[in-house]
Amino acid sequence: MIKIVCFGDSNTYGYEPAAGGRYDEDTRWPKVMQKLLGDGYEVIEEGQNGRTIANDDPWEGGTKCGMDYVLPMLETKRPDLLIIMLGTNDLKIKFNLPVADIAGSMQTMLADIRSYCRYYLNMEDMKILLVSPPALSDQFEKSYFAAFFDAATVAQRSRELAHWYKLVAEQFGCSFLNATEKVTAGTVDHLHLDPEGHRKLAELVRDEVVRICG
Residues of the chain with pLDDT under 50: none
- Phi/psi for 119 (5° steps) reads -95, -15
Contact (Cβ atoms closer than 8 angstroms) between residue 43 and residue 4 = yes
- What pLDDT is attached to residue 107? 98
Question: In angstroms, how far is the first alpha carbon of the chain from the final one?
Answer: 12
Structural domains in the chain, sorted by start: 2-213 (3.40.50.1110)
- What pLDDT is attached to residue 59? 84
HEC string of 103-128 equals HHHHHHHHHHHHHHHHHCCCCCCCEE
Task: Provide the Cα torsion 66, 71, 76, 80; round to 10°.
Answer: 100
Sign of CA dihedral 117, 13, 8, 43: positive
